[in-house]
Amino acid sequence: MVETTTKLFEEAKARGDDRLRGPRAESAHYDAGRNRVIVRLTTGVEIGLAPKDMEGLHDASADDLKVIEVEPFGLGIHFPRLDADLYVPVLLEGVLGSKRWMAARLGKPGGDSRSEAKAAASRANGKRGGRPRKAAHS
């Protein structure tokens, strides 16, 4: 039992060490003039993120965005007035929210698009009885 616990601890420690090797947040602030959350990384690189594109921040006011805290080790950014958190490693991968939120955002442009080809396909589908029903699973 002790051997297993020690092994699990060492594995977790190795994962943590890996995360601390990559870029982390050193500081963060809201730039109202550009409407961007600016995150300065330990590498010296600064990234600017539009609040409208991030889950938990998309409806935030400028006052709500003024107060930003960088979490210990620089792995997270916290917005106390919104009770919202951003995880820096996934931000750097371009992930701006949960899987469900991202899927809804990514699918929206296709659903919103209007074209004659899309309208013609919809009319043709309607003549055949509309969208096929999903098969019931037994």
The CATH number that applies at residue 70 is 3.30.2020.40
Q: How far apart are CA 57 and CA 82, in angstroms?
A: 8
Q: Is residue 41 part of a domain?
A: yes
* Angle (nearest 5°) at CA 15 between 12 and 18: 150
pLDDT tens series, the chain, 138 aa: 567 788 887 887 777 666 667 789 999 999 999 999 999 999 898 999 999 988 889 899 999 999 999 998 999 999 999 999 998 888 877 655 556 656 666 655 555 567 787 677 777 777 777 767 777 665
Is 53 part of any domain? yes
Q: Which residues form the domain of 46?
A: 23-96
Q: Determine, yes or no, domain membership for 103.
A: no
Query: How many independent structural domains does the chain possess?
Result: 1
Residue 38 falls inside a structural domain:
yes
Q: Which of 31, 34, 51 is nearest to 91 (CA)?
A: 51
SS3 87: strand
Residue 43 lies in a domain: yes
Residue 54 lies in a domain: yes
Asked, for residue 132, whether it belongs to a domain, the answer is: no
Neighbour-count burial for 30-53, b at 16+ CB within 10 Å, e otherwise: beeeeebbebbbeeeeebebebee
What is the reported pTM?
Answer: 0.60
Does 123 map to a domain? no
